[in-house]
Amino acid sequence: MAASPVPGGGGAGAVHSSNASGFTFDSGLEIRTRSVEQTLLPLVSQITTLINHKDNTKKSDKTLQAIQRVGQAVNLAVGRFVKVGEAIANENWDLKEEINIACIEAKQAGETIASLTDVTKRSHLESDGQVTILTDKTGVVQAARLLLSSVTKVLLLADRVVIKQIVTSRNKILATMERLEKVNSFQEFVQIFSQFGNEMVEFAHLTGDRQNDLKDEKKKARMAVARAVLEKGTMMLLTASKTCLRHPSCESAHTNKEGVFDRMRVALEKVTEIVTDCRLSGETDSSSVSIFTGIKELKVTIEALRENVCFESKENLSAALEAVLEHVEDFTDSAYTSHEHRERILELSTQARTELQQLLSVWMQTQSRKTKSAAEELELTVLKISHSLDELRRELHCTAMQLAADLLKFHADHVVLKALKVTGVEGNLEALAEYACKLSEQKEQLVETCRLLRHISGTEPLEITCIHAEETFQVTGQQIISAAETLTLHPSSKIAKENLDVFCEAWESQMNDMATLLREISDVFEGRRGEKCDHLSLPKPTKNSANLKSLKPDKPDSEEQAKIAKLGLKLGLLSSDADCEIEKWEDEENEIVRHGRNMSRMAYSLYLFTRGEGPLKTSQDLIHFLEVFAAEGLKLTSSVQSFSKQLKDDDKLMLLLEINKLIPLCHQLQTITKTSLQSKVFLKVDKCITKIRSMMTLVVQLLSLCYKLLKKMENNRWGSATNKDSMDGQN
């Protein structure tokens, strides 16, 4: 989230080699564990598919090779997993025995699967020259279950280790902060703050890794804002504490310092709450006060009436609408809402009430008449109230966005902050009171604007960012005033001036973050981006007035399903091959790696589809999937072409030849998506899977070739640099 900066870079690639903190546990172990897990679990799924395949036990040579390859791949992945697990066990003696037992079980399961799928050990020729294998399906099933069980145990134990490290680190910081609050001399403060700084760096690394591993976008957003508070709070704590030590009898300096300590403690507790998955007492869920969420849920309930799926009582539906309109009063009661916007919001609110009553009346009539005309009338009333709710949301969005944009523009020059700095240096107490009052007014405007933005933000992570902005303006505004008061009372104090500068910079930084937040909210509203989610979470099919019923999943017959499942198995293996190639790359943010990883994950999604699983359900899902996959393939070829410009002629030509094989396949796939899938759906699915298998084969080859050429290029550069140094030394 751009609007919520992450301390210390916060990435999984943040520094782990430094061990100055005294912690021997490398939090990168968790990331490597999950990386191996992602390789291992799909392979277990594939071996399950093989043993459950409704086919005779006689296999072709091609099938035998696939079976043996899966078994070996599972065993190799288990080996990597066990090494990571053992490393974690060696660093955590209290869990060592449990982790080692689980690792032994995993290793045994991997070896069993490899043995049971080994063609050379388990096969014998039949009279027709074919081979029989996997007669002991029960053994493979048991081994696969044991493997999944043991992997889960290791991951859960590793998770406990990470949580323990974060909580322990948090406790150390709290203890050090308590010492910092009581310090009385500069020398003692410098020593303790140095320790505090090291502890905060360690905490940033641990929580950064944890944030990247969180699957829940809401928790990830909450972690990001808590870490942002701690990052900025560290510098504030330094200058506020130094000012307090320099002017121990100054009440405003003590108020300023206490505000920093209080907010940092709250942020530390929030991090603990997130990693331990428990909510602080009295904290409410931000989504419960969002107008966007209320309208969204109300529309779902209303549309269910059309399908006769369920029926909420008249009172419940009316109460749901009134709950939404109660929050709408935040807009109509605001002194900053223009007269035109207020009148339009009130008009739309009244219209929504009227149309809901009409809808309920029509629905009751439809239940008794059951005629085509009654159904059409119900359809019309549903569309009318849905349109009114959409119009209300649009008006609220325009109101909040216009107010926020006007505020940012009006205060872009930070005139009040500059005046407070000048006032402080001049020691002018009368001017201080005037500008402090102006900053308070500005603060109240920004706080209320953030509250309105939260209602229309559109996603839970953005709601959390709005709440963070609201709290930051509220707290920082008061701290700026106390810091300015301290400087005004001690106008020649350099540390008091530095302290005011730090708090003013935090205010300006939050204003910049708010501008980014507005762009993100606008993108969500205009449909340019949704909740941050994996590319596998495809949008629902759009509805139109002609056919508003949900599209049903397409149902193939058993023969078609068996054929597609066979095609999908190879796709799953190719996805694993691509992941293995990607693991070789050191730079995970490389464009080639990123697009290759996306295509690999999507290929695995299609493999799940062939098994009747995963997010792909309907033909519309499939069309969207194919469009995205083809586009990702073209992005990969573009990245590889850019890379080829750095190569010598022979290497460049070899790479371009491979690219030229992939580009036509991408265009062919795009052509398929433009044809209707309504007839002979699974005939076209068959063709699509075959096409994507060919593309993934080329992707695996491209990833391997690009990696080799990259290493060759790096070695040549190193050799050239070494020779140059040698010649320079001789000269």
The string of DSSP letters for 60-89 reads -HHHHHHHHHHHHHHHHHHHHHHHHHHHHH
Query: How confident is residue 720, by pLDDT bands cut at 50, 70 and 90?
Result: low
- 160-199 pLDDT, tens digit each: 888 888 999 999 999 999 999 988 888 898 889 889 988 9
- 466-498 pLDDT, tens digit each: 999 999 999 999 999 999 999 999 999 999 999
Among 5-9, 145-149, 447-451, which range has the highest average pLDDT? Answer: 447-451
Q: Average pLDDT, stretch 418-427?
A: 94
How much is the pLDDT for 511?
92
How much is the pLDDT for 464?
92
Mean pLDDT for the chain? 78
Q: Is 427 left (phi over 0), alpha (psi -120 to 50) or beta?
A: left
- pLDDT at position 243 over 70: yes
Name beta bridge partners: 58. Answer: 132
Strand ranges of the sheet holding 131-132, from the earlier edge strand across to the other edge = 58-59, 131-132, 124-125
Q: Average pLDDT, stretch 311-317?
A: 67
Residue 537's nearest CA partner among 438, 623, 614, 432 is 614
Helices (DSSP H) in 247-338: which residue ranges? 251-276, 291-307, 314-332
Distance separating alpha carbons of residues 347 and 327, to the nearest angstrom: 15
Are 636 and 702 in contact by the 8 Å Cβ rule? The answer is yes
Residue 508's nearest CA partner among 402, 436, 413 is 413
- pLDDT at position 677 over 60: no
Distance separating alpha carbons of residues 144 and 148, to the nearest angstrom: 6
- 689-714 pLDDT, tens digit each: 888 888 998 998 899 889 888 888 87
- 66-99 pLDDT, tens digit each: 777 777 878 888 888 888 888 888 878 878 888 8
629 vs 10, more confident: 629
At 232, the amino acid letter reads K
Read off φ and ψ for residue 321, nearest 5 degrees. Answer: -65, -40
Q: Which long-range contacts (CB under 8 A, 24 or more apart) does 378-381 make?
A: 378/305, 378/306, 379/306, 379/545, 379/548, 381/355
How much is the pLDDT for 529?
55
Helix H or strand E segment including 131: strand 131-132
- The position carrying tokens 């036990």 is 57
How much is the pLDDT for 149?
83
Distance separating alpha carbons of residues 70 and 237, to the nearest angstrom: 56
- pLDDT at position 268 over 90: yes
How much is the pLDDT for 436?
95
Query: How confident is residue 566, by pLDDT bands cut at 50, 70 and 90?
Result: low
- 516-529 pLDDT, tens digit each: 899 889 888 877 65
Among 246-255, 305-314, 607-616, which range has the highest average pLDDT? Answer: 246-255
The angle subtended at Cα 105 by Cα 100 and Cα 107, nearest 5°, is: 90
Residues of the chain above pLDDT 70, percent = 76
- 275-295 pLDDT, tens digit each: 887 654 444 444 456 888 888
The contacts of residue 46 (CB under 8 Å, 6+ apart) are 70, 569, 572, 573, 576
Distance separating alpha carbons of residues 303 and 322, to the nearest angstrom: 18
Q: Quote the pTM value.
A: 0.62
Distance separating alpha carbons of residues 94 and 557, to the nearest angstrom: 54
Residue 414's nearest CA partner among 395, 442, 390, 391 is 442
HSE-up (13 A, CA, CB side) for residue 257: 24
How much is the pLDDT for 541?
31
